[in-house]
Amino acid sequence: MAETKKLMRALKGEIMDVPPVWLMRQAGRYLPEYRETRAKAGDFLSLCYNPELAAEVTLQPIRRYGFDGSILFADILLVPDALGADLWFVTGEGPRLSTITGADDFAKLKPADAIHETLSPIYETVKILARELPAETTLIGFAGAPWTVATYMIAGRGTPDQAPAHALMREDPATFDALMDRITEATILYLSAQIDAGAEVVKLFDSWAGSLRGEAFDKYATAPAKRIISALKARYPHVPVIAFPREAGDAYIGFHAATGADCVAIDNSVDSDWAAANVQKDGCVQGNLSPALMIEGGQRLIDETKRIKAAFAGGPHIFNLGHGITPEADPENVHVMLEALRG
């Protein structure tokens, strides 16, 4: 069945008149049914760790829109939680973590292979989804890339420029490299367990890759992605991997070959025609409609959807946003986008 699914076909290199489509953060706060389910769970982390409710919110956008892909509902910071960092979410502000500022903090973390006890509910969610998703829908697992996860673990929260992580990289490279290595090992184990539970594709989100430049990008974005993908391909050679080094700019070029990714997701800061010429020539691309258009709607949403579809029509393409759909998005605009894409 996997070979007939549209998203899987695109990941294998097939060019289609109408590309498969899913949206980053498609299960989320823009949907009233999500907000109702989260209220039942009590808080965000409780929702992530409740397999039945996490599966429910994963399925909600599939029922509503019929996307070709369904991404597991979880969070990239569950790996730090499983490694022993303190994690909590502040309403209206986002995640908070205990910080890694030196070797003593790092020494308190658990080994990579200790993550499964904490993350076992996530694997159960994947098993539920593998049973309950429509036969034509591809199940996508995911994890945060090591650099992005490290930035949160070092700063204790999201930051505008990831300055605390850059500072630790410069001032205590031994601790920084050890942290990156620990996260990389844990990510390989986490994604492997998701695949064992039924994920058909996995995606690596490097949301803050754009703050790395030159040799730092090669060492801390490209090399960890290559290590993770190589390990997964050795174990699961037929499971595709999507890599998303967000805001990589020119560093998107060659990222397929450098990492072994089957598909490179691109953000909406790069032009679609440029990406088709420079990135899609190496394989499947995913993207890259602006999430702002899911708020704005109207003719510009229709026109941009059609323009992006046309720009990538010459190669394998998965239609998606350039970043996650936001809580302010109008659910009806998703229908508008799908009609423009699918006709």
Our measurement of the distance from residue 271's CA atom to the centroid of its chain's CA atoms, rounded to an integer in Å, reads 21
| From 34, 65, 123, 152, active-site residue | 152
Amino acid at position 183, single letter = I
Residue 26 Cα distances to 58, 107, 246, 253, 276, angstroms: 8, 37, 18, 27, 25
Would residue 131 show up in a list of annotated catalytic residues for this protein?
no
**307 labelled catalytic:** no
29, 64, 157, 307: which one is catalytic? 29
Q: Tell me the β-bridge partners of 144.
A: 205
Q: How far apart are CA 139 and CA 123, in angstroms?
A: 13
**63 is known as an active-site residue:** no
Q: Which of 302, 270, 301, 303 is nearest to 286 (CA)?
A: 270
Nearest-angstrom CA–CA distance, 198 and 236: 12
Active site residue 152: yes
Q: Which of 68, 75, 81, 262 is catalytic?
A: 75
Q: Is 267 a catalytic residue?
A: no
Q: Which of 25, 182, 227, 246 is catalytic?
A: 25
Q: Where are the alpha helices (DSSP H) in the chain?
A: 6-11, 32-41, 44-48, 51-65, 78-82, 103-107, 116-132, 146-155, 163-171, 173-197, 215-217, 223-235, 255-259, 272-278, 293-296, 298-311, 331-342
Q: Which two tokens stand for residue 43?
A: 């808080």
Residues serving a catalytic function are 25, 29, 38, 75, 152
